[in-house]
Amino acid sequence: MPSALDRLRQTLIALTQRGARAETVKTIRRSLAMLARTARLSQSERAAELDGIAETAAFHNAETGAWAQPTPDTIAKIALGMKIDQGFDACDLGIWLAIAMRAGGIETIPARRILSLTEDEMSALTAFSRDDLRHMAGFVAHSAEHNARFADGVIETLEHSLATTRDPTQPDHAIDPAELVERCSAAMDDVPEGWMVRFARCGSENLKALASCGAAGWEVPEVRFSNDLEIGPGWFRRGNRRCVDVADARIVRAAAESPVGRKIFYARPWVKPARLTEADDPTRAASPLQGNGFWPVELRAFVKQGRVVGVSHYYPQAALPLTPRNARQMLDARTKAQRIADLCAALKLYPRLMEVEFARRIPAEKAPPGFHDNLAQFGREDVAFTCDFLETDRTPDGTPCEPHLVFLEAGPAVTPMGGGHPCAFAGCGGPPKFGAMLATDGAAFSLMDHVNIFEPSTWVEGDRTGHILTWPQVEALAASNETEKSE
C-alpha cells in the first residue's frame, strides 16, 4: 500500500503535469494571437516586424555561438588550467563541474553525459516541433479562408520565423521519430537505479515541484502510478524500460532559451542529504494537501564582480537555525565558491546570460532610472554567478562520513534583469522590479518575518535581525561554543 508520502508525490506530480499542459495551451494561444496580429499588418509593417525577429535571432546566434561549449576539448583545457578567454552559458552544468573539479578542495557530484540532441531532434520530441507549428499555421489560415491576405500573412510570418530562429550550427536533416525515441531509451539502459537525469541547464519540472513542496525526501523520488508507469527525476518508465523525459515542460523552456549547439543530458547519482529542515509548506496552505514539508540543508553562494558577497539557505520555506554548525557551513560555502570564482578569473571564463546581453542593447532613453548604472556592475568580463552546495554525510560511493558540503551546480547571478533567485535574501534591497538591484550581502539563514517567498509583493526591506547576519557575525557564531538540539 502506498505511504502518505507516496500519495502526496503522486498528487503533486499529477497537478504539475496538469499545470504544464495548461501552460502549453496558453502558450499556443498566445503564439497564435501574436501570429494573427502580425498577419493582419500591412506588407511593409509585417516586413519590419519580421526583420526585427530576424535581427534578434541573429544577435542571439552570434552571441551564444561565440561562447565556450562543453566539448571534450574545452573540458580538457579547464582540467589543465589553460586560459579559455571566452564567455560561457551561466547555466551549463558540464563546464561548471569541470571548473569546480579543477578549483581544488571541492567535492562534486559526478555527472555522466548520456544523450546529445540537435535542436531539431529536441523539437521533434516536444509539443513545439516545426511540423506542429506549421499545422497550427494551417489551422489559422483555414479558419480565415475568407481573407486571403490574412492567410498569406500567417504563412509568411511563420515560415520566416522558423527560418530565422533555427540553430545555424546544426544541419537540417530528416528525423526518424522511432529511432529518436529509441535513443532516449537506450540512454537510460546503463544508468544505475537510484540516479537522476537532468538537462545541462536545469532539472525536471517534476523534481522541482517535489523539492519546492518539501516532498523529495531522503532517497531518490521515484513515483509509481501503476505497474506500467513510473516517473523519476528526469526520466519515466513505461513497462520495463526507462526513457529520458526530454519533453518535460521546464526542460523545454530551458532548451528554447539555450545557446546554439547541441542539447546535452546528464545522469547523476542521487546524494542523500545529511539533514532535512521541517516547516509548514506555504504552497499547500489552505488545501487538502496542507502540511509540513522537509527540505535538505542546501546553500547558495552569490558572486558579484569576482567576490562572494553572500550565502543563503536555498530553501527559505524552512528557516536554518542560527547555530555554530550552520554558521560554519555558511563560511565553508563562501570559501568553496570563492575558489570557483578565482579560477574563472584566472582562466578568463565569464558566465553569461542572454537576458543580460539583450538588456545591454536597451537605449538609455528607454531604460528605467539607474538601469544602466546597475547593469554596469555586471560587465561582460566580470565573474558573477550563483552556486549551490548540498550538505551530505556520505562519500561518493555512499559510505557514511562527517557532514560536509558538495558542489551541486552553478547558475546565473542575481542581476537587475533576472537570473538567479535570491532565496532568503528576498526583500533585501527592495522589491524585484526590472532594473532594480537586489542585495545579497552577508549570510541569510531565513526570510525576514514579513516576506512570503511565493508572494513577490511582500519582498520589501524590513528587520533583518535574527535572519540575515553580517560576515563578522557569522564568524563569531561559528567560533562560539553554543550548542543546540538542532545540531
- Count the domains in the chain: 2
Of the three residues 218, 246, 269, the one that is the final residue of a domain is 269
Pairwise pLDDT comparison (356 vs 144), residue with the higher score = 356
Q: Which has more pLDDT, 155 or 80?
A: 80
For residue 294, the model assigns a pLDDT of 79
- What is the pLDDT, as a whole number, of residue 144? 43
For residue 225, being part of any structural domain is answered with yes
- The pLDDT value recorded for residue 98 is 97
Is the pLDDT higher at 133 or at 250? 250
Is the confidence at residue 265, as pLDDT, over 50? yes
For residue 225, pLDDT beyond 80: no
Q: Are residues 201 and 325 in the same domain?
A: no
Is residue 384 in some structural domain?
yes
Among the residue ranges 306-315, 328-337, 417-426, the one predicted with the least confidence is 417-426
In a domain, residue 119? The reply is yes
pLDDT at 246 over 70: yes
> Are residues 313 and 254 part of one domain?
no
Can you tell me the mean pLDDT for 173-177? Answer: 74
**Residue 418 shares a structural domain with residue 469:** yes
Q: Are residues 40 and 158 in the same domain?
A: yes
Share of the chain above pLDDT 70, in %: 71
Q: Do 201 and 253 have their domain in common? A: yes
pLDDT of residue 239: 81
In a shared domain, residues 192 and 262: yes
Same domain assignment for residues 329 and 473: yes
Position of cell 504552497? Answer: 283
Confidence of residue 138 (pLDDT cuts 50, 70, 90): very low
Residues 223 and 142 in one domain: yes
Q: Is residue 254 part of a domain?
A: yes
* pLDDT at 6 exceeding the cut of 80: no
Domain with 461 in it: 276-479
pLDDT tens digits along 423-457: 999 999 988 887 778 899 999 999 999 999 889 99
What's the pLDDT score for residue 10? 46
Same-domain pairing of 24 and 130:
yes
The answer as to whether 32 is a domain residue is yes
pLDDT of residue 37: 59
Higher local confidence (pLDDT), 65 or 152:
65
Per-residue confidence (pLDDT) for residue 301, from 0 to 100 = 98
Average pLDDT over residues 43-53: 69
Instruction: Specify the pLDDT at position 173.
Output: 60
262 domain-assigned? yes
Based on the fold, state whether residues 199 and 338 are members of the same structural domain.
no
Question: What is the per-residue pLDDT for 248?
Answer: 83
Please say which residue of 269, 303, 333 terminates a domain.
269
129-158 average pLDDT score: 45
The rounded mean pLDDT for the chain is 81
- 326 lies in the same domain as 259: no
Top-confidence residue, 278 or 385? 385
Decide which of 67 and 254 is more confident.
Answer: 67
For residue 357, being part of any structural domain is answered with yes
Q: Which contacts (CB < 8 Å, 24+ apart) does range 223-231 have?
A: 223/6, 223/9, 223/10, 223/13, 224/6, 225/10, 231/13, 231/206
Q: Same domain, yes or no, for 160 and 27?
A: yes
Asked, for residue 420, whether it belongs to a domain, the answer is yes
The pLDDT score that the predictor gives to residue 63 is 93
Q: Which of 104-113, 286-295, 400-409 bottoms out in mean pLDDT, i.e. has the lowest?
A: 286-295
Domain termination residue (choose one: 221, 246, 269): 269
pLDDT the model gives residue 148: 47
Query: What percentage of residues in the chain have a pLDDT greater than 90?
Result: 45
Per-residue pLDDT tens for 343-400? 999 999 999 999 999 999 888 888 888 888 888 999 999 999 999 999 999 987 888 9
